[in-house]
Structure 1
Amino acid sequence: MVSRRTIPVTGIWLAGLTSGVMALLGLDLVLVCGVLGVWIGSLFLVTSTPPENQTAKRNKRLSMSSMRELVENSSTPVLVTEKGNIAIANRSARKLLGTHIGGQDARVVFRQPAAIKLLGKKKGGQALVRGLVRRQDVWRINRQVIDEELAVIELINQNAEADVSRAHTDFVANASHELRTPLASIIGYVETLSESGENFDTPMSQKFLGTIEREAKRMQHLISDLMSLSRVEAEKHDLPDKNLELAPLVERAARDAAGAERTDWLEFELAEKPIVQGDQQQLEQVIRNLVDNAFKYGHDDTYVRVRLDNSRPGEARITVSDTGDGIPSEHVPHLTRRFYRTDPSRSRASGGTGLGLAIVKHIVERHRGRLDIQSTEGVGTRVIVRLPQVDPEAEAKDAAPAFRPTS
């Protein structure tokens, strides 16, 4: 049965009108009726079942429109190719690859041998591509074939995994190098002493023993810093919740770092008494590392200044300053990297491990603070730690139960 909306009304009227004219002209009535029947039948035959290719095209357009709406706001770059050309590119894909990619050959868009090989496969698959947008970028391309013409391409960012892997490799290499140096010294001097017999009272023996002790302590400090850094990184997502009064903590940790022989060269300015939420051991470690660095790299017989104040409302600021040679500006952005040294020989001679500021940075980040390093050559260096303050009265007010008068 043909539905009303598919009845070719206009065609039927035209056929009837034409047949009437033919009858008026005196044509045979049987012939006229036959022409009318064939005409109307052909109209029903054409309109009742649209061509399959038209239906397929209409369905494909609807499908593509729905697919475009579905993937447009996805945070993952998604592309749909039709016969190898980009038919759909969602917002993330356009931001990554450019707004001009619509209609282009996918092979031209990617321009990577691994990606081109994947696009040429009849079945889906995945490929790892480097340098897709920037030189160090790493992306995994997932391709799923829908039919002979359509395929969906998904781009997965692998930069974070690559950075972690690279950092791990660099860390192991640097740690191995740092441990190898004192171990080689210890082994060499021990072997020399062993060959010299039992007499350790000679000046050379005493010198060797002093070197062994120094290198062993250096290795001990390095291992201790490595363990500290590992613990801080493991806890970096856990926000401390203990309220600490910062002034006595800063003064105590600074004096511990200076030791009895250097404590007279400490200069304090603890004008404020802010309270912060923090881990006491880690914050003390921050102060010890900064004060120790200031004494190591400042000039002899000059003061190390430790200041505590409020840089702005709700923020405590700790500043540790030295008077030294300063640090060239090109080195400052890299100072918090593991094992980074501006002067390796001087750092090792002073017992530095190259991990102190890396530990400080991770502790400050765990406390939702900020670390700034300012240095001027020939003048000195200032390291500033900013931490969010806590208002105990406001906390107590929030924690107190609401007062409800009894009836």
Structure 2
Amino acid sequence: MAAGHLAPGPGLAALGATLLGAGYVARLWLGNLLRLAERLDGAERRIDVPLLDDTKLLPAVREVADRVTRLARSLAERGELVERLRRSDATIIESLPDPLLVLSADRALLRANDAARRVLGLGTAPRPGDAAALLRHPVLADAVDQALRDGAPCSADIMLPVPVARELAAQVIPMAPPLADGGELMLVLSDRTRERAVERMRADFVANASHELRTPLASLIGFIETLRGPAEDDAAARTRFLGIMAEQAERMRRLIDDLLGLSRIELIEHQAPKGSADIAQIARAEAEALAPILAARRVRLVLDLPDSAVARPADAEQIAQVMRNLVENAVRHGREGGEAVLTVAPAARGGVTISVQDDGPGIPKEHIPRLTERFYRVDKGRSRNAGGTGLGLAIVKHIVIRHRGQLSIESQEGSGAKFSVWLPAD
């Protein structure tokens, strides 16, 4: 080998060793960085990634790894805290007694709590198009437009007519900034049906009582004055007048009982009943209880009943009241010494049908649509003489509405009348 020249073997070996070392260090760096990235990614996605092994880390990376570990733990703790808060918020919203809806800017339904799902009949996972009928209500739509335009809460009073009339107070609240799911409006509904019903009940009771009680009260006062004056020593007149006074007092009692009963029914009309009722069994019990009334008018009640006919959901006590009122109506307005037929049968569309047919003079067709109004009488004098209060069919109507059923009346002059009630059976 010539002087001044290095042998090529050792130089190439040194270069190769350097390259191999550099490659190893590079792979080690890349491996360390990849594991750091995995740790950060796991912390971001709240995945439990094992701690980094310090023995496999380069000294320059070890300090970064320690900080990444602390950051990962902090992110995990914050993530758990956020998740707990989210679950707590969801629990609070679900437990609210008032319906709550979250809407997007285009009025699509994003979320609904349990109360809203029950009131509006939504499924457990509401879809954007659900509650469209509610959101299209003109008054509510105007309130939503105003809340979006002004960026301030807006309120509205609305009425939903189906399945039963409900009066709701709506609060439309803009969300600024929008929620994570895109919710820009929160709609809170408060059911005011009961409060409005109480207000109407008080007003109606005073108006009806003052009007309908005036006549029997005036009669009682007149007879008392007569007994204290001209007929004071007339035993026969006293006996006759006391009998009339007893009848008028009984009429007042029935009237007050029916008014209070009707008010109680209207108060809970928007609340669907619970439980079930065996209609056939109730019909047999009511037929026995009405025996004195049937005997007084010498009316024969014919029963056409199956062994069992169940309505569900149903309030058995209210169904008995419906049957009692319909049979009493048939007895009072049917032919004395005649016949009434009480039929219970399965309906073709499902459910149960109760019908009561009388053999009275029938009802002119122009009166039929108004028969369920309070105190409406086709023949006022005849109705009072028969002992009716004018509230029986109004009570029947409101009970049927509460049961999501249907009342129908068929009659022709001279051929009696037939009252039919359809009740659902799940």
Shorter-chain TM band: 0.5 to 0.7
**Is residue 247 of structure 1 aligned with residue 280 of structure 2?**
yes
Residue correspondence of structure 1 range 277-292 to structure 2 within 5 A:
277=312, 278-292=314-328
Instruction: After superposition, give the CA deviation of every residue in 1:324-349 in whole Å (9 maximum; x if it has no partner).
Output: 12112222111111112122222112
SS for the counterpart of 2:363 is coil
Q: Which amino acid in structure 2 is aligned with residue 253 of structure 1?
A: E
> Partner residue of 1:274?
309
Partner of 1:202: 236
Higher mean displacement: 305-314 or 373-382:
305-314
Give the counterpart of 2:209 among 150, 175, 179. Answer: 175
- Using the TM superposition, give the Cα deviation of residue 215 of structure 1 relative to its aligned residue in structure 2, in angstroms: 0.6
Match of 2:266 among 233, 254, 259: 233
Structure 1: where are the runs of 5+ without partners? 1-68, 75-90, 98-125, 129-159, 391-407
Aligned residue in 2 for 1:333: 369
2:245 is equivalent to residue 212 of structure 1: yes
TM-score (norm 2): 0.52
Within 5 Å, give how 1:108-187 maps onto structure 2: 169=203, 172-187=206-221
Are the structure 2 counterparts of residues 295 and 369 from structure 1 closer, same or farther at C-alpha, using a change threshold of 3 Å? same
Equivalent pair of 1:274/1:389 in contact (CA under 8 Å): no
Q: Does 1:343 align with 2:343?
A: no
Match in the other structure for 1:302: 338
Q: Alignment partner of 2:347: what SS?
A: strand
For the Cα contact (< 8 Å) 2:357–2:419, is it kept in 1? Answer: yes
Q: 1:377 to 1:354 in 2, by over 3 A?
A: same
> What's the Cα RMSD here?
4.6
Task: Write the distance in 1 (CA, Å) between the matches of 2:304 and 2:208.
Answer: 38
Change beyond 3 A, Cα 1:341–1:271: same
Q: Deviations over 1:250-274 (max 9, x none)?
A: 1221342344445761111114521
Counterpart residue number, 1:191: 225
**Aligned mate of 2:255, from 222, 225, 229:** 222
AA partner of residue 309 (structure 2):
P
Tell me the SS of whatever aligns to 1:372. strand
What is the alpha-carbon distance in structure 2 between the residues aligned to residue 306 and residue 262 of structure 1? 17
Q: Is the 8 A contact 1:275 1:389 kept in 2?
A: yes
Letter in 2 for 1:252: A
Deviation at 1:365, TM superposition (A): 2.1
Q: Which runs of 5+ in 2 are unaligned?
A: 1-103, 110-132, 140-153, 157-192
1:317 aligns with 2:353: yes
User: CA-to-partner distance for each residue in 1:58-90, whole Å, 9 max, x for gaps?
Assistant: xxxxxxxxxxx947779xxxxxxxxxxxxxxxx
**In the superposition, relative to structure 1, how do residues 200 and 282 fare at CA in structure 2: closer, same or farther (>3 Å)?**
farther
Q: Deviations over 1:112-143 (max 9, x none)?
A: xxxxxxxxxxxxxx9x9xxxxxxxxxxxxxxx
1:64-79 correspondence runs (5 A): 70=105
2: CA distance between counterparts of 1:288 and 1:341? 19
Residue identity matched to 1:256: A
Instruction: Tell me the secondary structure at the aligned position of residue 202 of structure 1.
Output: helix
Tell me the SS of whatever aligns to 2:362: coil
* Counterpart AA for 1:349: N
In structure 1, distance between residues paired with 2:420 and 2:222: 42
Q: CA deviation at 1:291?
A: 0.7
Q: Secondary structure at the match of 1:361?
A: helix
Q: How many aligned positions are there?
A: 277
Superposition deviation, residue 175 in structure 1 = 2.4
Question: What pairs with 1:88-127 in structure 2 (closer than 5 Å)?
Answer: none
Asked if 1 retains the 8 angstrom alpha-carbon contact of 2:326 and 2:419, the reply is yes
